[in-house]
Amino acid sequence: MSERFKGQNVVIIGGNSGIGRSAARAFAAEGARVVITGRSRQTLDSVAAEIGPQCLALRSDIGVVSEIRELFTRLRSELERIDVLFVNAGIGAFQTIDKVTEADWDSIHSINLKGVFFCVQQALPLLGKGSSIVLTGSIGALKGIPAGSVYAASKAGLRALGRSFAAELVGKGIRVNVVSPGPTETPIIGRSGLPPQAIGVLREQMIRNTPMHRMGTPEEVAAAVLFLASAESGFVTGIDFLIDGGAASF
């Protein structure tokens, strides 16, 4: 195992499950001090126990701007700088247009879009030359998916944020990239609001529609995140890196 991140501080927003959890393990294995956040104290403690003393687990809800501010106020007292900021927290939802309420719209966008913006804003005092930001997008921003309009809109907005952040921060030596998974085996599918039978149908449909005919793994997405965060991608900024088995390409 290499030590690409030895001595670096990595902050993972939404590091308590799925892709974030896999990324936290991978960064720690390569020498990083890892800070993870999430809404569930139980899952945060589980990840922290697995990684050990080089992991700090802080409960924080990305959907509440005041909690984002509190989080980064604390981090400014804990860390001299942030070398990698991975904003991974997000929720999925599948609802037909006629069923979407204003509350549904606000809930999804407060986490998937507004929260992402304010995380980056609040992290800026700790970011500097050589820092890297990675945002978790989705191929839902690129493909028309029935019942996915609100989710897709939030992720398309996130992709636009990634481009704009990259353009604004490049002069400060901060790289910003988006990683967009396709169908991936994570707990987000179970939190989509669909009944269990419908989740099974959706999963089968996603596999059929993926040219590689399988779901991706959180570890595969995490590997892409580590590449984008590392010096190996030092000449890369503003991209949308698709990890989707070809689903959005052909």
Q: Could you read off the pLDDT of 232-243 as tens digits, one per residue?
A: 999 999 999 999
- Residue 205, pLDDT > 90, answer no
Please, which residues bridge with residue 87 across strands?
13, 135
Considering the entire predicted model, what is its pTM? 0.94
151 is catalytic: yes
* Cα atoms in the 13 Å half-sphere on the side-chain side of 178: 24
3-class secondary-structure state, position 242: strand
Closest CA to 187 of 13, 11, 19, 51: 19
151, 222, 226, 242: which is the annotated catalytic residue?
A: 151
- Specify burial of residue 213 (Cβ count, 10 A radius: 0-12, 13-18, 19+): exposed
pLDDT, position 193? 60
Rounded Cα distance between 6 and 17, Å, is 23
Please, which residues bridge with residue 36 across strands?
12, 57
Given phi > 0 = left and psi -120 to 50 = alpha, else beta, which region is 245? left
Give the containing element (helix H, strand E) for 21: helix 18-29
Contact call for residues 88 and 186 (beta carbons, < 8 A): no
Q: How many CB atoms lie within 10 A of CB 42?
A: 8
Contact call for residues 61 and 39 (beta carbons, < 8 A): yes
pLDDT digits (tens, 9 = 90+) for 146-200: 889 999 999 999 999 999 999 999 999 999 999 999 999 987 666 656 677 777 8
- Residue 21, pLDDT > 60, answer yes
Quick one: average pLDDT of 96-100?
96
Contact call for residues 30 and 2 (beta carbons, < 8 A): yes
Give the containing element (helix H, strand E) for 206: helix 196-208
| CA 210 from centre of chain | 21
Domains of the chain: 9-243 (3.40.50.720)
Quick one: average pLDDT of 131-143?
96
Residue listed under structure tokens 């069923």: 99
Find the angle CA(237)-CA(243)-CA(248) to the nearest 5 degrees.
100
